[in-house]
Structures are given as structure tokens and as C-alpha cells.
Chain A
Amino acid sequence: MNARPDFLLSVENLTVSFDGFKAVDGLSFYVEPNECRVIIGPNGAGKTTVLDLICGRTKATDGKVEFKNQELLKMREDQIVHAGVGRKFQTPTVYEDLTVFENLEISYPKGHGVFGALMFRRDDPVKSRINEIAGEVFLDDLLDEKAAFLSHGQKQWLEIGMLLIQDPELLMLDEPVAGMSVAERIQTAELLNRIIKDRSVIVIEHDMKFVEDIATRVTVLHQGKVLSEGSMAHVQADPKVIEVYLGH
């Protein structure tokens, strides 16, 4: 099957093997514009590895990843970001020694070359955009706080904010609500529901309630392969899925 131009992202026959062990094995799936795709699966199914492969963190052994008809597998990580793919890591990854404002500023999509960064000026459009994003991720009161002093949940929000400021067309979130308190979880679900509206999103998540809330379609991975794919209701009814995952 050839990549159809109406897909934002087409992953075909994606394979990576670590010393002979195939963490992802001939995986194919397609993401449409404005779709929220949730990837679920038991531990070790290769969920995070798939995101790593798409964003260039891990080099694929075989296969194709096309994003807006560009082959991502040949591109460097920063080029993939500039193509419009944003990635949030599983553990909150923020710059602890910098303030919330500075964290967001670094992700602002301007001055990304060495000399661009030297000449970068914190002008009004930059400030207002940072303020806007900070408001969106509930951190507008903490702009001058060092990121090290944020709670776990706030760090997750900050990292989401750092992605939002890049305005990616494809947003990949690895367990965005893991380790959050109930209150934070509810706020995050509301935040995610808001930000997935005008872009495509791939989310890895274990919280089934949460998945049901946000997913357009669900892909179930098992041992590096697609076990089932479809609506939440479809995969929940799939006997293979119940067998390896949901039934446990």
C-alpha cells in the first residue's frame, strides 16, 4: 500500500532491531490530519520506541516514515522538529536551572541557529506568545520561577507548553498524565482536549478512562506489531486485545 497524500503521517513496515531483538517489527499505521491516535499496549510492546523512531531519536533498521510527504528517517532530529513534529518525553524533561519563561523562550520557534541565538531579542511578540502559552498550561503565575521548583505535574505542563509554542502539526505525547494527582489529571485532560483540536496527536497512555475521552482511534501494540486498530469500542471488543492486555 502506498502512502496516500491525505495522511499526515504514514508509517510503513517500520522495523528496528537491537542486537537481533525486534522491538518494532514491520509496523504500519497512518495518521490523518486532526486525528488523535492513542497507542496502547503492555509493557515492552514498543510504544515509546515507535515515537523514538518517528522523531529520530532511534535510527530505524528498515521501513518508511512519511510526514507531509517528507521522509523523516533520513532527517536529523532538529530538522524533524522544524518539519512540524513535536515530542514530549515520558518523564518531564525541562531545564531545571532556567525559569519557566526561559524554558518556553528556548522552544520559541525563532533564533535556532548559533548566530540567530546570539542575536535573539526578547521582543513583544515573543513575550506575548510566551504569556499566552503559559496561561494555557496553567503556569502564568510562575513565569519567573525556576523550573526545578515546579511540582511533577507542573513540569509535565511546562513541557507540553514548550511543545505548544512550536505549534507542531503532529504532537507526540508519551504518557502525559503519568504520575499526576487526580486534580492535575482532570486539568491535564481538559488541556489536552483543548490542544488536540487543530492538530494531529499521537498519545501513549495507560489510563483507559483517559484514552476513551480523547481517542479518535486506538492502535494496540504487542511485541512490536499492531495487534488491533480501530475505535476504542472496537479494540475493547477484540478478543486478541482482551487476551494480551485488557483482560489482565
Chain B
Amino acid sequence: MLLKGNRFFSTGDLVAFAILAVLIFVILPVGLDTFRLNLFGKYLTYAFVAIGLVLCWGAGGILSLGQGVFFGLGGYCMAMFLKLEASSPEATKIQSTPGIPDFMDWNQITQIPLWWEPFHSLTFSLFAVILIPVAFAFIIGVAMFRRRVGGVYFAIITQAIAAILTILIIGQQGYTGGVNGITDLRTLKGWDIRTDDAKVLLYFVNGGLLFVCLFIAQLIRKSKLGRILIAMRDQEDRVRFSGYDVANFKIFVFCAGAAFAAVGGAMFTLQVGFMSPSFVGIVPSIEMVIFCAVGGRLSIIGAVYGALLVNLAKTTFSELFPELWLLGLGAVFIAVVLAFPNGLAGLYKDHVEPRLLVIFKRKAGDDSSTEDFDAIKTAAE
């Protein structure tokens, strides 16, 4: 049978992965025009962050309200490369200093700062997209988890870091593009990322990377490390007194979450064509937690749907009711936490998956079709 479970993927997991793959790689590209597809590509970049939050928060109990920091750092690394490429002397010959990014010119800066220089290299930039956010997460993780800062305190500190980074970016306008961010990005190694063809291709690259992240997250969850995270969430002291250095595990999962968020940020820049502090600060960081909560904080697949649905709702409702939208989002968050603490994934697992498994078993012509519904439901858990 094709969808046979193994050590890392139960049959239910495989079904869920397959359905999501069909949605992302077949249904959406076939059903949507390029504009809408690009929009969904943008939504999916948030799914990277949500997957990271499932690992950190859902499994490990580490609530970070500052994932926008890593999303933003990843996005800015990508944007810096693209901006340098878009600022060739020919393209910027009307500036008082041609050959530097436009916002630097507006801020009377006449030379590309030293720390921008390495971003002329695509290879460096791609490494930086992951390594800079991970290094930053590592520093935060060591500073916090070694000192046993956790729970609400950790959440507040990550939120403060998100606020600080936003202020820093806005304040250093000449080096960062300030509140407008880094805009007017054009080509990647000469390939115009603004064309429809490029947008479709980037959508598929994004989807592919999303699945890479999903697979990595699944492997982490199903390894002993994944179970240690759950154990840590329940009884941190017991894990410690079973001979584990708890801080190392927290640092690891926080860095993994940062890496996922950073990939999402870089893909956001490529698909949307700019990066700005409005994707870094407190509000977007909290929104990312909501994507994860709505989708189901225990399910990596659920997190993807959460990111898709909440963003879709955001686009739809924020056009119709611009003032009420944020209140509505808050209400959804509260409702989910109170009524469905495991989000959409919890509903799926309780009500949909058992039925699907029955169908799959029948299709496969298993002799086990006599098995009753409850037995399969138990097996799915």
C-alpha cells in the first residue's frame, strides 16, 4: 500500500501530507490566476514561521512572541542582496551617488557601508538568510535558557526584542531603508522576479521549501528529541533529573524555529518584492502565533492551514472592515484558545482523519475492512 506508515510517518500523517501537497502543488496553481497565486505564496511564507512555532511552542512549551525578528532578518538578508543588484550604476545614474541603494542616496550616504558589502554575493546572502537569524536565536537562547528564563518572561523578552529591532531598523534609515523598508527589488542574478512566470516559479520553489521544512519538522517531532520536548513542556524538572541539559534542547528548538522563519522571510521578500519593519515588530509576531494557534499548535500541517486561512480572512475582511479586522482577529484567537485548544488540526484529528482512514483502507482492499471505526480511530492517535 502506498500510504503505509513507518517510524516517522503514521498513515494519518502521510494522508495529511499528501492532501496538503495536492492543495499546494495542484489545486491552487490550477485554480488561481497569477495574482492570487502570488498572494497565496505570500501566505505560505508565514506557514514556515507557524511550523517553527509548533516545534517551539506546541511541543516544547516555549512561547516566542518575537518570531517576526527571524522572519525579518531572513527577509532583510535576501532584500539586501536584491537591492544591491537593483542598484547598479546604470540603473541609479540619476542619483547624486550612482551605484548605491536609493534610500542611502536620499540619506546623504555616499558609500555602501562595509557590512553591506558581502551581500553582493548570492552564495553569502543565501547562507546569511539562515545563519544570521539562527546565530541571533542562539545568542538569545543561550542568554535566556541557560539562566532558566522561561514561560511568560521569555515571551515578554522576545516581544521586547521584536520592538527593539523594529525601532533600530526605522532609526537607522540610511542603512536599512527605515520605515519604508527595502523596496523596488527587481532581479535575481539578472532574472526578473516581477514577471508572472517568475512569480509562478517562485510559488513552486516556496512550496517545495515548505515541504522540506515540514519533513525536517516531522523528523524532529518523531525522534526522541521530539518526545523530550513534550516531556519538557509537562515536567521540566523531571527531564533535568533524568540527566538532560534542558537548556540545550530549548536552544536547539528555538534555533530550528528561527531557521524556518528565516526561510519564510526570504521567500516573502522574493515573492512580494520588498521587506519592511512592518513584518518584524510586535503585531506581526503575535499574528504569527495566532496562525499557529488557529491551525493547531500541536500539528505542523495544521499550522500551514492556519497560516493560509487566517491570512485569507485577513485579506478579505481587512478590505471590508478595516477598523474591525484586528478586533475580529483577536476574537478568533480567544475563541480558538477557549473552544478548540488544538485548533483546526484537533478538529481534523478527532472528526475527519478516522473517516479518511476507513476510506483508504477500503480502497486498498485490505482484509481489515471488518475493523470497526473506533479501532482505526485509536490507531490513528
Binding site for B on A (CB under 8 A): 55, 57, 76-78, 81-82, 86-87, 89, 93-98, 102-103, 105-107, 109, 111-114, 117-120, 159, 162, 166
Contact = CB atoms under 8 A, between A and B. Distances in A.
Interface in B232-273: 233-235, 237-246, 248-249, 252
Interface of B: 219-220, 223-225, 227-228, 230-231, 233-235, 237-246, 248-249, 252
Contacts of B242: 81, 106-107, 162, 166
Contacts of B230: 95, 97-98
Query: Chain B binding site: helix, strand, loop or mixed by DSSP?
Result: helix
Contacts of B223: 117-120
B235 A117 contact: no
B243 A93 contact: no
Given A76-B245, A81-B243, A117-B249, A105 B237 contact: no
The 5 A-B residue pairs whose C-beta atoms are closest, nearest first, are A81-B243, A120-B224, A117-B225, A95-B231, A93-B238
B234 A118 contact: no
Contacts of B244: 78, 112
Contacts of B252: 114
Given A103-B231, A117-B225, A162-B238, 8 more contacts: A81-B241, A94-B235, A95-B234, A96-B234, A112-B245, A118-B219, A118-B223, A166-B242
5 contacts: A78-B244, A97-B230, A106-B231, A118-B224, A166-B242
A120 B224 CA distance: 6
Contacts of A118: 219-220, 223-225
A86 B238 CA distance: 11
B243 A112 contact: yes
Contacts of B246: 78
A51 to B, nearest CB: 11
Given A93-B237, A93-B238, A114 B227 contact: no
Contacts of B235: 93-95
B47 to A, nearest CB: 23
A87 B239 contact: no
Query: Which residue, of B237, B241, B246, has the highest number of chain A Cβ atoms within 10 A?
Result: B241
A120 B223 CA distance: 7
Contacts of B239: 106
B62 to A, nearest CB: 15
Contacts of A97: 230, 233-234
A100 to B, nearest CB: 13
A114 B224 contact: no
Nearest to B232: A95
A222 B244 CA distance: 33
Contact of A95 (B238, B240, B249): B238
